[in-house]
């Protein structure tokens, strides 16, 4: 059983609401996110999520909140 990290993202705001560890051999359709959410696998290309951050579907990356972004 290979475990992987996933984050649960709120659909309407793309806000990260939870981080879970899930068996990586399971198909994403077997994961049942809460209504109004979707699941994103955390990978090197997505970057590390922060609970106050969001997920940009267009770029496939996690976005830091403005107060954590370097100017």
What are the two backbone dihedrals, phi and then psi, of residue 18, each rounded to the nearest 5 degrees? -170, 155
| pLDDT(32) > 80 | no
Average pLDDT over residues 33-53: 87
Whether 5 contacts 16, CB under 8 Å: no
Average pLDDT over residues 22-48: 83
Please give the structure tokens belonging to residue 44: 């090197």
pLDDT band, very low/low/confident/very high, at 1 (cuts 50, 70, 90): low
pLDDT band, very low/low/confident/very high, at 57 (cuts 50, 70, 90): very high
- Tell me what percent of the chain is helix, strand and coil, each rounded to the nearest 5: 10, 40, 50
pTM for this predicted structure: 0.73
Average pLDDT over residues 25-35: 74
């Amino acid at each position: 059983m290979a475990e992987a990290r996933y984050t649960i993202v709120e659909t309407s705001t793309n806000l990260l609401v939870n981080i879970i560890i899930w068996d990586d051999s399971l198909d994403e359709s077997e994961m049942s996110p809460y209504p109004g959410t979707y699941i994103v696998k955390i990978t090197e290309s997505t970057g590390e999520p922060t609970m106050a951050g969001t997920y940009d579907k267009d770029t496939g990356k996690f976005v830091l909140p403005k107060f954590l972004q370097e100017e």
